[in-house]
Amino acid sequence: MKQVPFISVVLPIRNEEKFIEATLSAIARQNYPNTLLEILISDGMSTDSTKEIVYKFKNSNTNLSITLIDNPEKIVPYGLNRAIRVAKGKLIVRMDSHSVYPDNYIETLVDALYEHDADNTGGVVETVPYRNTVKCHAIATALSHPMGVGNSYFRIGSSKVREVDTVPFGCFRREVFDKIGFFDEELIRNQDDEFNGRMINNGMKILLIPNVIVKYFARDSFSKLYKMYYQYGLFKPLTVKKLGKVPTLRQLIPMLFVLFLLGGALLSLFLKPLWLFYGAGLLFYVMALTLISVRQAVAKKMLKMTFPLVFSFFILHFSYGWGYLYGLIALIFGIKSVFKNKTLSRD
């Protein structure tokens, strides 16, 4: 018999006036019964019109249970935890306001959770351009390609339901939080990765459901892309330390790239023969990025995207690698203030 439990949707937001109405509309269109759904919005003290839009939507959709919660810390894990603590649902669905969800999102994830006896289920992210510009298309493409994000299945897709180490916007059993606690409030970034890693450490199952596709709006500038991935890299060593796991080679590659880029240049100043190897390495890297970018640009019939895409790939590699290196140095030397900078929030 199909199970239809009461669901709590938790939505941490801050200054999302451009996206929040579309996200709430997507939740309102869900196939899941409205009477078995509550929406808990943790607002990080927005300074734009986000709260006004939420209240207006609430007043126009009286068939939905919408509660707005203040999140004075202005940081995602605090907002998530505030909402989860007051949630009434048997299942918790974590959503994001930069995304638009298919009408069957909740229903499909709930069905998969029970069918496969999982503890967390999530879908595939289709990264779409913020605007219809060449730069925005390049950024979105880089965030969807293995050259940019590696073998992260929730970003590049999967041909089958598979057990993974993390999913975005997951559907969790409530007892998961009862057993392992809440999101780590020290992690301004990567709190989803750490929480899912903690689940795996406790023998829980996380599944990617490939036929559930969420549209995620990519950042609209190179500077925002750099800031976001620098922060992901910065908090990754701390996440690894908390989970007690040895980092994979895939996680270390961007940092090794930065060490090659900066260290190779420095050593070549003193050891002239190294210039040849250093130059050959750089040439190979640039050629690989260019070849992949040309192929993507041709496939999308947007040749002007080639060089912005090369730059987008480089930003992803360098920003994550530089952030990882800095975060690792901060951990080694005990510079805890690096991870307590609460200005590191989403744009």
Same domain membership, residue 200 and residue 115:
yes
Rounded CA separation 107/37 (Å): 11
Same domain membership, residue 137 and residue 93:
yes
The pLDDT of residue 99 is: 87
> Do the beta carbons of residue 98 and residue 168 sit within 8 Å?
no
Same domain membership, residue 40 and residue 140:
yes
**Considering 221, 241, 258, which residue would you say is the last residue of a domain?**
221
Residue 205, in any domain of the structure: yes
Same domain membership, residue 259 and residue 200:
no
The pLDDT of residue 271 is: 84
Residue 55, in any domain of the structure: yes
Residue 244, in any domain of the structure: no
Same domain membership, residue 148 and residue 283:
no
Sole residue written with tokens 């126009």 = 60
Same domain membership, residue 267 and residue 178:
no
Same domain membership, residue 272 and residue 168:
no
Same domain membership, residue 130 and residue 52:
yes
Residue 236, in any domain of the structure: no
Residue 231, in any domain of the structure: no
Tokens of 242: 């908390």
The pLDDT of residue 243 is: 94
Residue 237, in any domain of the structure: no
- Domain enclosing residue 86, as ranges: 7-221
- Alpha-carbon dihedral sign for residues 168, 173, 174, 180: negative
**Considering 201, 221, 241, which residue would you say is the last residue of a domain?**
221
- Indicate the pTM of the whole model: 0.91
Same domain membership, residue 192 and residue 286:
no
Tokens of 299: 């496939």
- Alpha-carbon dihedral sign for residues 180, 44, 224, 294: positive
* Residue 157: count of CB within 10 angstroms of its CB: 13
Three-class secondary structure assignment of the chain = CCCCCCEEEEEEECCCCCCHHHHHHHHHCCCCCHHHEEEEEEECCCCCCHHHHHHHHHHHCCCCEEEEEECCCCCHHHHHHHHHHHCCCCEEEECCCCEECCCCHHHHHHHHHHHCCCCEEEEEEEEECCCCCHHHHHHHHHCCCHHHHCCCHHHHCCCCCEECCCCCCCEEEHHHHHHHCCCCCCCCCCHHHHHHHHHHHCCCCEEEEEEEEEEEECCCCHHHHHHHHHHHHHHHHHHHHHHCCCCCHHHHHHHHHHHHHHHHHHHHHHCCCHHHHHHHHHHHHHHHHHHHHHHHHHHCCCHHHHHHHHHHHHHHHHHHHHHHHHHHHHHHCCCHHHHHCCCCCCC
Number of domains in the chain: 2
Tens-digit pLDDT string for the chain (347 aa): 588 999 999 999 999 999 999 999 999 999 999 999 999 999 999 999 999 999 999 999 999 999 999 999 999 999 999 999 999 999 999 999 888 899 999 999 999 999 999 999 999 999 999 999 999 999 999 999 999 988 778 887 788 999 999 998 999 999 999 999 999 999 999 999 999 999 999 999 999 999 999 999 999 999 999 999 999 999 999 999 999 987 777 789 999 999 999 999 999 888 888 899 999 999 999 999 999 999 999 999 999 999 999 999 999 999 999 999 999 999 999 998 888 875 555 55
Domain CATH number, residue 194? 3.90.550.10
Same domain membership, residue 255 and residue 185:
no
Residue 263, in any domain of the structure: yes
The pLDDT of residue 118 is: 98
Same domain membership, residue 130 and residue 37:
yes
Rounded CA separation 267/343 (Å): 35
Rounded CA separation 123/143 (Å): 16
**Considering 202, 221, 240, which residue would you say is the last residue of a domain?**
221
Provide the residue type at 233 as one letter.
Answer: G
Residue 129, in any domain of the structure: yes
The pLDDT of residue 149 is: 87
Same domain membership, residue 293 and residue 147:
no
